[in-house]
Amino acid sequence: MLLEATAVVMEFGSFRAVNGASLTVTEGDIVGLIGPNGAGKSTFFNCVAGDLTPTSGTIRFKGHDVTRATPEQHARLGMARSFQVPVTFEDMSVAENVMVGAFLRHGHRNAARRVADEILAFCGLDTLANARAGSLGTPGRKRLEIARALATEPQLLLLDEALAGLTPAEVRLAIDLVRKIQQRGITIVIVEHIMEVILSLTEHAVVFHQGKVIAEGPPRQVVDDPGVIAAYLGGSMKRVRTQIS
Ligand SMILES: Nc1ncnc2c1ncn2[C@@H]1O[C@H](COP(=O)(O)OP(=O)(O)OP(=O)(O)O)[C@@H](O)[C@H]1O
Ligand SMILES: [Mg+2]
């Protein structure tokens, strides 16, 4: 098991944003994490990646207990994540932003640049390498967010709505990119509201609601689960389909 998150709880004051959620991920998988707004998906990612220390529960990655490890320790062990709101150094070039990720494993500037160049080409950002990051539009920013994470050479990549805000054509290109990432041998957990993405990329979907996992299984099966439909808006299948597609 690559990742084992068990009974994770994250409290903000008296509010439990994550309320006993568990997730296991096997090497090579792409797991989809879905659920309505405010279900606790990003907070759960923050716990898994070390950006938040859970109130209780355990996170094990590659057999190590990382429940209280720092984000950098997670990254060194091989876990990377994209943020729902991209963290871009606006005044630096696209290539320099990717080098920030590459410096995790390569102290020397030239080596970091070589890694960054390979990742930029892989992500289809090579022609934008010298552009100012702040000049990128949404598709470029989303790709840059993924590229920066890939430059840390992860085994597990957590993508938090890395495809949100893209046009349908851009979504299809981004789906191809995620597939290529998996073919590189990287295991992926993807949070995404666009159902086409979940259906075409994942064989296992996990549904969050009010900080808990309320269903999991093949994505086509979980979207028909009555509990999932109820969570997504008072039992109307049509509205569920609209909201998650
Ligand atoms: N730092 C915080 N302090 C207090 N409450 C928080 C904090 N971060 C998140 N929350 C709350 O926790 C709940 C879960 O938020 P979270 O961002 O994890 O949901 P989400 O499933 O990622 O939603 P979305 O699909 O909209 O991104 C929300 O009610 C949110 O307001
Ligand atoms: Mg979120």
pLDDT for residue 195: 83
What mean pLDDT is predicted for residues 16-22? 98
The helix-helix angle for 94-102 and 138-150 (nearest 10°) equals 20
What mean pLDDT is predicted for residues 178-201? 94
Q: Which residues line ligand 1 (CB under 6 A)?
A: 12, 17, 35, 37-43, 84
Q: What is the pLDDT of residues 90-113, one digit of tens each?
A: 999 999 999 999 999 999 999 999
Q: What are 71's two structure tokens?
A: 């984000």
- In this structure, are residues 205 and 32 in contact, taking their beta carbons and an 8 Å threshold? yes
Asked whether residue 68 carries a pLDDT value surpassing 60, the answer given is yes
Task: Indicate which atom in ligand 1 lies nearest the CA of residue 40.
Answer: 18
85 Cβ contact list (under 8 Å, min separation 6): none
What is the DSSP code (8-state) at residue 150? H
Hey, what domains does the chain have and what are their CATH numbers?
Answer: 3-87+154-244 (3.40.50.300)
Q: What percent of the chain has pLDDT over 70?
A: 95
User: Which of 12, 46, 190 for mutating ligand 1's site (highest number of atoms within 8 Å of CB)?
Assistant: 12
Asked whether residue 140 carries a pLDDT value surpassing 60, the answer given is yes
What mean pLDDT is predicted for residues 178-202? 94
What is the DSSP code (8-state) at residue 185? T
- How far from 241 is each of 21, 22, 203, 223, CA to CA, in Å? 24, 25, 18, 8
d(CA 206, CA 213): 7
Own/partner pairs for 171-176, CB < 8 Å, 24+ apart? 171/196, 171/197, 173/124, 173/139, 174/139, 174/142, 174/143, 175/200, 175/201
How confident is residue 233, by pLDDT bands cut at 50, 70 and 90? Answer: low
Residue nearest to atom 9 of ligand 1 (CA): 43
How far, in Å, is the centroid of ligand 2 from the Cα of 106? 31
pLDDT for residue 235: 45
Asked whether residue 234 carries a pLDDT value surpassing 90, the answer given is no
pLDDT for residue 193: 87
